[in-house]
Structure 1
Amino acid sequence: MLPDAVPDREPETWPGSSEVVVPGSGSSGSSESGLDPAYEYVARLAVIDAQAAEDALAPSTREAYRRAWEVFEGWAANNSLMALPATASTVRAFVAHLRDRPVPASLPTINQHLSAIWARHADLGLPSARQDGQLRLRLQGYARQDQERLVRQMSALMVRDVQRIVSVMDEDLQQARRELDDERAVRKTQLLCARDKGVILVGLATAMRRSELARLEVADLREDVEGLVITPRWTKRDQAGTERNPRAVPRGAARATCPVSAVQHWLSLAGIDAGPLFRPVTRWGTVGPRGFTPQVIRTIVQQRAEAAGLPGTWGAHSLRAGFATQSAKNGVARHVIMADGDWRSAAVDRYMRRGALWDGAAAKSLGL
């Protein structure tokens, strides 16, 4: 008997990317593109679909996912576990592996690895453990661990602390102008002071996360009568940039600590009119063309706070902690602090309690 004939491909579907013949490729057929008209239409849709899949992730994100997937795949192979498709228990074990380090992986790092795993499964059309309830519970537990450690370790950068930091930076700049003969060295000090002021003052005024602050661009800024409107194109909770929630940055009461003046001075001094807002400064006193990584924000805050002689443990999160703590101390309502600082959990309550610690303290009435 003759074998059954292979049915024609349904017009509602298309082949894999390796089988798609792009219209206009010169293949023979009844149409100018060399394809049957019905199949040509389907092939054109396949090209559009493939391009959308390619554009779904930024090149840097795609590269980060590639590296993260290689880490997971290598770990699974070393432990005789299946990476594709990965079971929920395998993924939970991998997350525990990331935490089982001298310095446990942070929740953002874990989420990046998980996103890479989910993306790999989605690309291949395989089921994933993304909706696993036990995994979500584990992530909540890790988040609480990180938050407790962060609040306990990071000091809040208050307004008085920022005033001290700015004052020391101004003194350092004046000293450099008096003592340094090399114009490039003076220029470097001037640029670093201007940039770091902008980073610290804008970071405190907006409560942006370090990843959001590092990605700001000049196009995200709009000057207003009352100050500066910053509309980040990317936030931790809106990576697609669909919400575009603006942040109001009012002019400061003192010019020395005014975030609006600090940004304007940095842009003018650095000659920046487009592209990344905050950038590296080279040892030759020039400004780099690209933005810097979020880790630089941590270094800036840490080094400037230590140079000012401030006791405590400092990092990029000190800016967000300072925003919430100072706002609570000044009597700002909880829901306003949460909205302006993009908090969606009760973690902000810890900062509010810290801010109100000295308000109405009974010990003040003792007369000591």
Structure 2
Amino acid sequence: MMTDKDARADLADRMRTARVRAFLDPDEVAQPADEFEALLLRTAQIHVQAVTEKTRSAYARRWRKFEAWCGENGFTALPAPAETLMLYLAAAGNANGASLNTLRGWAAAIRRIHEEAGLASPTDDPAMRMFLRGLSRQIPPREKPMQISALRINGLREVIRTLDARSRDVREVRDRAVLGVIEAGAIVNRMRMLNWSEVQIDRNAVTVTLLPVERTSKSPVVVRAVARADDHAACPVVAMAAWRDLSATADDDGAVFTTVEGQQATQKRLGVREIGRIKRTRLDALAGEGKKASFADAMRLLAQGRTIDLRDKALLLVGWAGAHRRGEVVDLRWEDVVPRDGEGLVIHLRRTKTDQEGRHGAKVGIPYGRNPLTCPVTALAEWHGRVQQQLGDVDPKWPVFPGVTRAGRIGTQPLSPEALTKVVRRRAQDAGLQGHWGGRSLRAGFISTCADLEIPLEKIAAQSRHVTLESLSKYIRRADPFRGSAAGKVGL
């Protein structure tokens, strides 16, 4: 007959087993046999949620490596004596050249699984502490990664100036002219042989003479596009004149439609497939999923600057003004952005570093900028307008900063933190800024700029959502050791 003590012991064993299974395979736990097994499972899953999914997944991955090594070498993984763990770390450090921090991370995973199983961890053995101390002396310390540079306000202004200056993309000027000629009735397979001598541009119309491509009896085709005085952005006359100004062959009576390398038109003639691809990709990309833009709408959008430039400008300015972490920026949805009359925007962060479960979230105020060049509210409004123009009514659930293709298609999936890092790095490099740039450059830049202006740390922390001033200080990059120096203010 089972006593209460036996029952408690049995319950503890079953709970620990359930916790280990739930920790290692939360999505692959077998269906419970009865209601009590289901309760055990739910309880174990609640226990697992004490750590983030990222941490749990990393621990589970490290444990499986340890378990596999034990199986190959005839050792028991659970419970594992301290000696087994020492051998494992020594072998891993020697074979893989792992750093001390990596080895400590592996030991932490093994400790966690033992705790879930209700067993003594081999990491608690006094001999283990001596072994780790020996490892720290044997393994040479790795060089610290280069500190991410802070994008201060002056650097940010330069990035935005460069971005605005490059908003007229030569390919988009060319493609706008291509669409204008096709809309007027031009035949694609004859457009490839079109020379500037066969194009007449005046204030009221563009007249294009399309000669036969092959030596046949077919006569030339004359296409005439009338100017749209009320809509210059979608006007074929304006489009052709703009492309002629940038063309590398207009003065030599060469090919009208040529390739583009970087931001320079070449003398190489476009082929039929390339012209057809321009028509197809632009009309597809500059509209919503499963739709096609009209020629006029596509030309109008191309005249307004690149879609990706509008997105990046809003991303940089909103990310900087809010002192946002990378994940906070890419997780934003349009429903999280609320305008406040006369003040700016209130952005609701669903999750923060100190609120991973999103129980409370946080609200961040983004005020209007004094300088129109760097106003985050205006930049986000312009980006919202472009999304609306291309996709129609904006779904509140859509990400604020999705992926954008080279052709200008706006995606439905948010940027990843890694993609945001690449955006910041590319834009800073385009502006010629020297430094080690990344996603954290925005947050560090805001905080460092505030410190340069001697804004009280408490107010900076309120915007950056730092819990302690110690953690805030890690983001401050002192560019000038004399600026804000306390030694200069004590009356020496």
Q: Same fold (TM over 0.5)?
A: yes
Cα 1:78–1:21, aligned 2, differ >3 Å: closer, same or farther? closer
Matched letter for residue 369 of structure 2: G
* Matched-pair contact (CA < 8 Å) for 1:210–1:317: yes
Cα distance, 1:64 vs. partner? Answer: 5.3
* Matched-pair contact (CA < 8 Å) for 1:217–1:275: yes
Matched letter for residue 380 of structure 2: V
Cα 1:80–1:45, aligned 2, differ >3 Å: closer, same or farther? closer
Task: Show the counterpart of 1:221.
Answer: 337
Task: Show the counterpart of 1:192.
Answer: 308
Aligned equivalents of 1:306 and 1:50: distance in 2? Answer: 49
Secondary structure of the structure 2 residue equivalent to 1:346 = helix
Secondary structure of the structure 2 residue equivalent to 1:231 = strand
Matched letter for residue 322 of structure 2: T
One of 333, 344, 360 as aligned partner of 2:468: 344
Cα 1:61–1:348, aligned 2, differ >3 Å: closer, same or farther? closer
* Matched-pair contact (CA < 8 Å) for 2:347–2:365: yes
- 1:320 equivalent to 2:443? Answer yes
- 1:170 equivalent to 2:159? Answer no
One of 425, 429, 448 as aligned partner of 1:302: 425
Cα distance, 1:303 vs. partner? Answer: 0.3
Cα 1:155–1:7, aligned 2, differ >3 Å: closer, same or farther? closer
* Matched-pair contact (CA < 8 Å) for 1:324–1:351: yes
Cα 1:49–1:353, aligned 2, differ >3 Å: closer, same or farther? closer
Cα 1:75–1:306, aligned 2, differ >3 Å: closer, same or farther? farther
* Matched-pair contact (CA < 8 Å) for 2:52–2:356: no
Task: Show the counterpart of 1:364.
Answer: none
* Matched-pair contact (CA < 8 Å) for 1:166–1:197: yes
- 1:332 equivalent to 2:450? Answer no
Cα distance, 1:358 vs. partner? Answer: 5.8
Cα 1:63–1:360, aligned 2, differ >3 Å: closer, same or farther? closer
Secondary structure of the structure 1 residue equivalent to 2:349 = coil
Aligned equivalents of 2:349 and 2:419: distance in 1? Answer: 18
Aligned equivalents of 1:110 and 1:284: distance in 2? Answer: 47
Cα 1:254–1:114, aligned 2, differ >3 Å: closer, same or farther? farther
Task: Show the counterpart of 1:260.
Answer: 377
* Matched-pair contact (CA < 8 Å) for 1:328–1:355: no
Cα distance, 1:276 vs. partner? Answer: 3.0
Secondary structure of the structure 2 residue equivalent to 1:280 = strand
TM-score by length of structure 1 reads 0.67
Secondary structure of the structure 2 residue equivalent to 1:265 = helix
Cα distance, 1:291 vs. partner? Answer: 2.0
Aligned equivalents of 1:323 and 1:76: distance in 2? Answer: 49
Aligned equivalents of 2:313 and 2:480: distance in 1? Answer: 27
Cα distance, 1:61 vs. partner? Answer: 6.7
Deviation sequence 1:125-155 (CA, Å, 0-9, x none): 44558999979x99xx9xxx99x956x6322
Cα 1:224–1:310, aligned 2, differ >3 Å: closer, same or farther? same
Cα 1:191–1:119, aligned 2, differ >3 Å: closer, same or farther? farther
Cα 1:149–1:269, aligned 2, differ >3 Å: closer, same or farther? farther
Task: Show the counterpart of 1:158.
Answer: 152
* Rg (Cα) greater in structure: 2
Secondary structure of the structure 1 residue equivalent to 2:339 = strand
Cα distance, 1:285 vs. partner? Answer: 2.7
* Matched-pair contact (CA < 8 Å) for 2:317–2:375: yes
Aligned equivalents of 1:307 and 1:94: distance in 2? Answer: 45
Cα distance, 1:252 vs. partner? Answer: 1.4
* Matched-pair contact (CA < 8 Å) for 2:444–2:476: no
- Where do 5+ consecutive residues of structure 2 fail to align? 19-29, 177-277, 287-300, 388-393, 486-492
- Where do 5+ consecutive residues of structure 1 fail to align? 24-41, 362-368
* Matched-pair contact (CA < 8 Å) for 1:21–1:43: yes
The more displaced of 219-228 and 78-87 is 78-87
Q: Compare the two structures and name the one with the higher strand fraction.
A: 2
Secondary structure of the structure 2 residue equivalent to 1:173 = coil
One of 394, 401, 424 as aligned partner of 1:278: 401
* Matched-pair contact (CA < 8 Å) for 1:72–1:94: no
Aligned equivalents of 2:323 and 2:73: distance in 1? Answer: 42
Matched letter for residue 162 of structure 1: L
Count of aligned pairs: 329
Cα 1:129–1:267, aligned 2, differ >3 Å: closer, same or farther? farther
* Matched-pair contact (CA < 8 Å) for 1:229–1:247: yes
Aligned equivalents of 1:121 and 1:57: distance in 2? Answer: 16
Aligned equivalents of 1:217 and 1:52: distance in 2? Answer: 28
